[in-house]
Structure 1
């Protein structure tokens, strides 16, 4: 599928075929695409919890106020981020670069993020935001539909997936075969309102 077709055809789907299962190969292809998403300093701070287990998805549905798509979709991807990725042997993020380049960038990365919890969280949200869009567009290109979800109790979701203390939740994405099409697009704002040329007036 053409990239622009995927962008325009992607919709948030709420109803999926609960009998459909994605293959291991399809899930691997989808997540390999997610791993191509850019991150600051290439620190790859996102973490993807791919949930297929029915019992775990029942728990996630309860944490998501009973929303059916959590159980009916083929998979649920819980997007998280490691807040201290900047300190996890950062030179490995440039292992294919000249050694002096990797060492220099690792030092810059550590010095920028260490001790700055707000920046760590901000970067986490930027990273999972980009990765989530990659997942949804890749899913569409593979013939699947998806839905980004923030309607859930974060403490309960963290408990269900056993989120480590030095990680933060982003949002969840359901992926599967739609059985009900999305409503017509409710209406996009005009470009003149949201696209600013050079500076705000």
Structure 2
């Protein structure tokens, strides 16, 4: 093998990973797998994609080395291959946010900066001077798989019925899957309409996990 053919072969492998990332549905699958391990049926329910579609995307991701699976009873359960896959997603997110005008426009419209809906970062949360309660609005299975310490879990669809369970004398800091998960903003909107002081956390549990491992 010549040096040029070796170089081409290596970049072809990189291209295979890049190609696997080149579909919004596959990125959403990885987003869910960053929260917890899932079988095809669970991903189908969480994302609203057909079972055939989920299976096809998972095979593409597995072929690119981005996910692994193991048999558990009658189900094949999928997970991110390792932490480097999540770091790759974060890097992709950073590039898109810094380089794409269309992405910046979406974020500005969605986050609503300089309002009560502007999120607080994990770094800022560590310096928060007032008492607060962490509220995780992800599904119960994702919370049980891992969550930020001391957080309480009320899935977003249960929030209207469980408002009376919340301590309203403290600021509620709400988080979900990550920066592009809008459940936390939906929750903050509902809480503020009830006169409850609430802020959205900019990041989610996977970002907290990566950051906590860095220290």
TM-score between both structures, scaled by the size of structure 1: 0.29
Which has the larger share of helix?
Answer: 2
Higher relative contact order (CA 8 A, sep 6+): 1
TM-score of the superposed pair, with normalisation by structure 2: 0.28
